[in-house]
Amino acid sequence: MKRKVINSARVPIYRESGFELYDAETTANAFKSESLNEREPDIYIYSRYRNPTVISAEEEIMKLEKCRWSILTQSGMSAIDTAVSLFQNGSQTKPWLFFTEIYGGTISYSEIVLKKRRGLDIQTFSPVNGRYDLTEFEVLMKALKPEFVYIETISNPLLIVVNVPKVAEIAKRYGSRVIVDNTFATPKLFRPLEHGADIVVHSATKYFAGHGNITAGVISGNDKGLMKSAIEYRKSVGHLISPDDAYRLQTQIMSFDLRFSRQCENAARIALMLNRYKTVARVYFPGLVQHETYQEAKEIFGNNGYGAMITFDLAGKDPVEKRKRRDLFIKNVSEKIMLIPTLGDPHTILMPVESVWGAKYPEPGMIRLSVGFEEYNELESTIMTALAKGD
Ligand code: PLP
């Protein structure tokens, strides 16, 4: 017997892989409308194509992004793969330009997949002394005229802020599209689509899901042609998020604003506290005036906050002493602050920078904190006590 609950307050988890199409005519119409309809089909066919629970979660993200389309994928990496693949047209004539301070997984993807396997021309642009020089960027753009420029609003782990509106303005002058990974900033701080970006990607695993229990990604945009093509690519390669994860996401995203506001507040206070501490050699937080991109952060984030990530470097007379202090700190906070290689979780978590990035960031005392939304005083006392023990 079939039962349909028509007064469910939310779109439930539709786990079926295929939907009932009744007869030959309905089937023919469904397939016809599937190829014509860019967003919500009249009738669902197969869950790798589209799924009602997924569409419902996408609508929640579109409210945050204030955009026309958001497309959910299984991971941040599959969102990135979808975004860049939109610009691959058989015989590539223009290079693709990636800023170098981006997520390590994206760098590996560009080298292993884009360069090595797909044989694409990938160019890079690096910051000098902690910030991107946009005059130099313009010189490079003039020479390369790339198909697109790929940037992250806030980088990892040095938290370099990119002046996205200026980058987009320059990119447009040379006919290039702009893809922005806005995972660290989130739409709460800044919405790149309103400032010249063509496509925004997020690892929804992080602040959107916010509880460390989902791996997901999303690509958002306002250009119908591009986003239709994103749906087509996602369907062809099978990048669609599972209905279960989409359901969790649509529920958890309702508290995004509350969670992220609190995380940003906690982070700003912790950064100030660390900045005053004698055994901390340097704090990297874009909300501190000493950060190389404080001006960029102020300009593009306004009063919205500076994100919830902090990197700090423990002092020491040599690398051996620095590592000793770092290891002691990690041990002393481990009851409350776990070493977990992700970010955006409810609780504050940490990563030793040298263990992940090796020689790229050569300060062995560096620790990256993803600040959580726990009660502030307890968090401060955990960190202060651990620092004091390491003196
Ligand atoms: N973009 C950024 C900025 C990230 O930090 C990550 C993962 O840490 C990703 C993309 C990839 O996301 P996922 O792990 O969900 O595939």
Q: Which of 66-70, 87-91, 292-296, 319-323 has the lowest mean pLDDT?
A: 87-91
Q: What CATH topology corresponds to 24-253?
A: Aspartate Aminotransferase; domain 2 (3.40.640)
| Protein residue whose Cα sits closest to atom 5 of ligand 1 | 103
Distance (Å) from CA 18 to ligand 1 centroid:
30
| Nearest CA among 299, 319, 303 for reference residue 365 | 319
Q: How confident is the model at residue 40 (pLDDT cuts 50, 70, 90)?
A: low
Q: Mutate which of 206, 239, 357 to test ligand 1's pocket (most atoms within 8 Å of Cβ)? A: 206
What are the structure tokens assigned to 95, written together? 């290079």
Within 6 Å (CB) of ligand 1, which residues are found?
Answer: 75-77, 103, 105, 152, 156, 181, 183-184, 203, 205, 215, 217
Which residue in the block uniquely carries the two structure tokens 């760098």?
Answer: 107
Residue 1 has pLDDT above 60, yes or no: no
Helix (H, G, I), strand (E, B) or coil at 122: strand
For residue 322, pLDDT beyond 70:
yes
Q: Which of 73, 77, 182, 218 to mutate to test the pocket of ligand 1 (most atoms within 8 A of CB)?
A: 77
Indicate the burial class of 80 (C-beta count within 10 angstroms; 0-12, 13-18, 19 or more): buried
Q: How many angstroms separate the CA atoms of 71 and 230, rounded?
A: 8
The region that residue 51 occupies, defined by phi over 0 for left and psi between -120 and 50 for alpha, beta otherwise, is: beta
Distance of CA 77 to the CA centre of its chain: 10
Q: What six digits make up the tokens of 243?
A: 């209905």
The overall average pLDDT reported for the chain is: 95
206 CA → ligand 1 middle, Å: 8
Give the pLDDT of residue 35.
67
Q: Which of 75, 108, 183 to mutate to test the pocket of ligand 1 (most atoms within 8 A of CB)?
A: 183
Report the atom number in ligand 1 closest to the C-alpha of 204: 15
The closest of 153, 198, 202, 200 to 177, measured between CA atoms, is: 198
User: Would you tell me how many other CB atoms lie within 10 Å of the CB of residue 142?
Assistant: 11
CA of 216 to the centre of ligand 1 (A): 9
Pairing of β 148-152 and β 177-181: parallel
Identify the CATH number of the domain defined by range 256-389.
3.90.1150.10
Sheet holding 217-221, edge to edge: 69-73, 217-221, 199-203, 177-181, 148-152, 96-99, 122-125
Helix, strand or coil, per DSSP, at residue 7: coil
Q: Could you tell me where in the chain the CATH 3.90.1150.10 domains are found?
A: 256-389
| Alpha-carbon gap, residue 347 to 210, rounded angstroms | 10
As annotated, the residues of the chain forming the CATH 3.40.640.10 domain(s) are 24-253
Residues 251-271 pLDDT 10s:
999 999 999 999 999 999 999
Q: pLDDT by residue (tens digit) across 107-137?
A: 999 999 999 999 999 999 999 999 999 999 9
How confident is residue 292, by pLDDT bands cut at 50, 70 and 90?
very high
Can you tell me the distance from the alpha carbon of 202 to that of 309, in angstroms, rounded to the nearest whole number? 16
d(CA 15, CA 52): 10
Provide φ and ψ at 124, rounded to 5°. Answer: -130, 160
Instruction: Please check whether residue 203 is in contact with residue 341, taking contact to mean a CB–CB distance below 8 angstroms.
Output: no
User: DSSP string covering 195-239, please?
Assistant: GT-SEEEEETTTTTT-SS----EEEEES-HHHHHHHHHHHHHHT-
Q: Count the helix, strand and coil residues of the chain and give each as a percent rounded to the nearest 5.
A: 45, 15, 40
Mean pLDDT of 219-244: 96
Please state whether the predicted TM-score (pTM) of the whole model is above 0.75. yes
Give pLDDT, residue 10.
87
Residue of minimum CA distance from atom 14 in ligand 1: 76
Q: Whose CA is nearest to atom 12 of ligand 1?
A: 76
**For ligand 1, atom 16, which residue shows the shortest CA distance?**
76
Provide the percentage of residues in the chain whose pLDDT is more than 70: 97
